[in-house]
Amino acid sequence: MQDFEAFLAPAKINLFLHIVGQRSDGYHLLQTVFRLLDYYDTIHIKINHSGTIKRVNDVPNVPETEDLCVRAALLLQKHTKCQLGADILVEKRIPMGGGLGGGSSDAATVLLALNQRWQLNLPREELLKLGLQLGADVPFFIYGTNAWAEGVGEELQTLTLHDAYYVVLTPNVHVSTAQIFANKQLTKDTIPKTIAAFSEIAQLSTENSAGKNIHDGFINQLEKVVCSIYPEVKACLDWLKQFGDARMTGSGASVFLEVANAETANRIYQQKPTTYVGFVAKGLNQHPFTK
């Protein structure tokens, strides 16, 4: 891939996810903590002078016109009236549709990379607003650190998290996010929590090497609904829960378990049923692009 430059796009997990309301336009108001993981897609970019934006490889089940990487580049180009273009090659590792933020992370990485390589030098705040036009999770990846999030996910505050490792598993099922949020059993009026309360519980959990009750009182409220509709997710979660306080991330289908060290994570991962794909990752404190 001569003349292409590689940029990393990290996965994320939601350490908890509460729905605290709903806007008049239908968007749900939430509270969550986003955590970056050192498990990546890689976005390869080559700048061109023709002004064309194109993806140069196939991505299964993602037409080029719907690819968030392409949409991100076109949005930035239109916003800045930039005359330069880009060839984009997307190397996927993060499971798609699993609640791990792969597509959003890819789009954020494209915005960050092209803002620099096109020498646009837009401030981070401007990129955050552009990212929100692509999806509610995109601003987090542009933000660059682990974060407490509110609103639809775009109101972000930096959060310091302790070092931890994660076993992440994805069952062979696609969860419809729209179906889950439309489910009448979903609680949508949870009393808002505070960062201080989360931080206090998270601090107590640093001594817990077994991954049990990592954030007591902070749950993923979508999890119960997803498990009631998708038995594959419930079975995967139940298997992982034998080792500690496993959680679902986002709207699923991926689930994760926090543990204290790589040895524990790898030992658990090596026992996983062959029907699940997954990985072991360490939590990051900062997006690799912003270092």
Per the omega criterion (within 30 degrees of 0), is the bond before 113 cis? Answer: no
Position 63 in a domain: yes
Residue type at position 121: N
pLDDT digits (tens, 9 = 90+) for 60-112: 999 999 999 999 999 999 999 999 999 999 999 999 989 999 999 999 999 99
- Residues paired with residue 282 on neighbouring β-strands, in sequence order: 165
Q: What is the DSSP string of 139-166?
A: HHHHH-B-EEEETTTTEEEE------EE
Q: Are residues 152 and 203 in the same domain?
A: no
The pLDDT of residue 206: 56
Looking at 104, 129, 159, which one is the last position of a domain?
Answer: 159
The distance in angstroms from the start CA to the end CA of the chain is 25
Verdict on whether the full-model pTM lies above 0.85: yes
Position 289 in a domain: no
Which two three-digit tokens encode residue 270?
A: 């090596």
Rounded distance between C-alpha atoms, residue 285 and residue 146, angstroms? 6
Position 67 in a domain: yes
Of 146, 145, 80, the closest CA to residue 111 belongs to: 80
Position 120 in a domain: yes
Strands 85-91 and 28-48, by their bridges, are antiparallel
Q: Are residues 91 and 194 in the same domain?
A: no
Mean pLDDT of the chain: 93
Q: Are residues 153 and 13 in the same domain?
A: yes
Rounded distance between C-alpha atoms, residue 74 and residue 238, angstroms? 42
Q: Are residues 60 and 112 in the same domain?
A: yes
193 is catalytic: no
Q: Are residues 12 and 146 in the same domain?
A: yes
**Contacts (Cβ under 8 Å, ≥6 apart) of 120:** 76, 80, 82, 114
Rounded distance between C-alpha atoms, residue 127 and residue 112, angstroms? 8
Domain range for 79: 5-159
Which two three-digit tokens encode residue 239?
A: 């298997």
Please give the backbone phi and psi of residue 45, each rounded to the nearest 5 degrees, phi first.
-130, 135
Looking at 135, 159, 183, which one is the last position of a domain?
Answer: 159
Q: What total of structural domains would you count in the chain?
A: 2
Q: Are residues 117 and 131 in the same domain?
A: yes
137 is catalytic: yes
Position 64 in a domain: yes
Q: Are residues 12 and 60 in the same domain?
A: yes
Position 288 in a domain: no
Q: Are residues 26 and 85 in the same domain?
A: yes
Looking at 159, 176, 195, which one is the last position of a domain?
Answer: 159
Q: Are residues 184 and 271 in the same domain?
A: yes
For the domain that residue 73 is a member of, what is the CATH number? 3.30.230.10
Q: Are residues 154 and 172 in the same domain?
A: no
Position 32 in a domain: yes
Catalytic residue among 67, 137, 234, 245: 137
Q: Are residues 177 and 152 in the same domain?
A: no
The pLDDT of residue 210: 44
Rounded distance between C-alpha atoms, residue 129 and residue 221, angstroms? 27
For the domain that residue 247 is a member of, what is the CATH number? 3.30.70.890
pLDDT digits (tens, 9 = 90+) for 227-256: 999 999 999 999 999 999 999 999 999 999
Of 33, 121, 111, 120, the closest CA to residue 73 belongs to: 111
pLDDT digits (tens, 9 = 90+) for 43-63: 999 999 999 999 999 999 999
Apex 133 CA angle, 127 and 134, nearest 5:
95
The pLDDT of residue 10: 98
Please give the backbone phi and psi of residue 155, each rounded to the nearest 5 degrees, phi first.
-90, 105
Kind and range of the H or E run holding 223: helix 223-229
pLDDT digits (tens, 9 = 90+) for 197-223: 898 887 766 555 444 455 678 999 999
Cα-based distances in Å from 134 to 30, 68, 110, 199, 223: 18, 7, 12, 30, 25
Q: Is the pLDDT of residue 175 over 60?
A: yes
Residue listed under structure tokens 């991954």: 211
Position 134 in a domain: yes
Catalytic residue among 12, 87, 106, 245: 12
Rounded distance between C-alpha atoms, residue 273 and residue 210, angstroms? 20
Q: Are residues 43 and 153 in the same domain?
A: yes
